[in-house]
Chain A
Amino acid sequence: MLREGHEVSCLDEDPEAHARLEVNLDRSWEDSGGQFTVGTGLEEEALTSAGIERAGAFIASTDGDNTNIVIAQIAKRKFNVPTVIARILDPLRAEWYERQGLHTVCPTRVAIDMLEGAVREGARRDGGGPDGSAEAA
């Protein structure tokens, strides 16, 4: 998104995460126009210093579903960020929160769809079983 010319600010509780942002960048993350803040999404001061008050979009994609759901709601209700997206691995809850008006992305659902597609594609190409069906492993 930085390459597309957006202004991107990352918040992570691990200071080391900064190094990962610079992989495949010619310049430093900051020189490329990025911002990095150490803290968690549950700390309002951290969100504020990461610039949430002027954000056009907020993505909650920590490795914890519950953390993402909570901080996405904070971004939405407290800071009124126009576009808020939460990563939720659990498909059942992703579906329910989506219905409650929270924009969610469920990597599990996406992976299931892709794997199903790959199985069908493979079965079509390789002829599959005797009745044309394939077994998922």
Chain B
Amino acid sequence: MYIIVVGAGKVGWNLARELLEKEHEVTVIENDRRRYLTVEQELEHNVSYGDASELWVLERAGIQRADMVIAVTGDDEDNMLICQVAREKYQVERIIARVNNPRNRAHFDLLGIKPSVSATDLILRLLEHEVPEYGLVHLLDLQEEQLEIIEILLGKDSGITGRRVGDLQMPDGSLLISILRNGKGFVPGPDTVLEVGDEVLAVLDPGREDDLKELFGPGGNGAG
């Protein structure tokens, strides 16, 4: 695959290195002269100097035949527009953009720049996973498909421990798919009884988190 990586910062440089190891053809574009010279000592002809916001710089890097463009500069506007131009002007099929400021994520979505990756969001997800007080953890968000998978830890104060799964009234648009107990996962049947410490996995339509939190939380009685 021919991949253009824009931005030779820590992310771009390491990404390029990994992609080259996987035997992809890679061009990194960097617009800071000093950074370019540093990176060029290792990546040699795989790095190109210039401002990838400018069309001729992208064309010089061979964007017409690129299979993928990954924009990971430290500037969100640059990342957005490089991806927009790559897809809409040069018909590059796959794009990935880095979001530096999570508050700009809505703008990426507005311009149809997907997928976009935000380190802050990733860390928040990890934090949610590591800090059980958050209660509900997003395991997977499929934005296009309008589905998400979440995990809820049943605490001592959960109102539904000791109840049969078959008696739970799951909210519309949600489905209990698995239970992790003592490090092992299994698919529950109607007679499975929920215990304190169970991690419950559910698939649901976006926006249903609060209904589930309520059901599995202290106030929920879960009974039909």
**Which A residues are closer than 8 A to B by beta carbons?**
42-44, 64-67, 69-70, 73-74, 77-78, 90, 92-93, 96, 100
Option from A64, A77, A92 in Cβ contact (under 8 Å) with B110: A77
User: Residue of B at shortest CB range from A64?
Assistant: B77
Inside 8 A of B134's CB, which chain A residues have their CB? none
Whole-angstrom CA separation of A49 from B63 in the bound complex: 40
Option from A43, A66, A77, A96 in Cβ contact (under 8 Å) with B55: A96
Q: Does B152 have its Cβ within 8 Å of any Cβ on chain A?
A: no
Q: How many residues on B have C-beta within 8 angstroms of the other chain's C-beta atoms?
A: 19
Question: Can you list 8 residue pairs at the A/B interface with Cβ under 8 Å?
Answer: A42-B77, A66-B77, A66-B80, A70-B107, A74-B107, A74-B110, A92-B56, A93-B85
Inside 8 A of A69's CB, which chain B residues have their CB? 77, 81
Distance in Å: Cβ of B159 to nearest Cβ of chain A: 39
**Which B residues are closer than 8 A to A by beta carbons?**
53-56, 75-78, 80-81, 85, 88-89, 103-104, 106-107, 110-111
Chain A interface main SS type: helix
Contacting pair B88 A100 (CB below 8 A): yes
Inside 8 A of B53's CB, which chain A residues have their CB? 65-66, 90, 93
User: Residue of B at shortest CB range from A67?
Assistant: B77
Inside 8 A of B75's CB, which chain A residues have their CB? 66
Whole-angstrom CA separation of A42 from B80 in the bound complex: 12
Inside 8 A of A74's CB, which chain B residues have their CB? 107, 110
Whole-angstrom CA separation of A100 from B103 in the bound complex: 26
Contacting pair A73 B56 (CB below 8 A): no
**A64-B77, A66-B78, A100-B88 known; A42-B55 Cβ under 8 A:** no
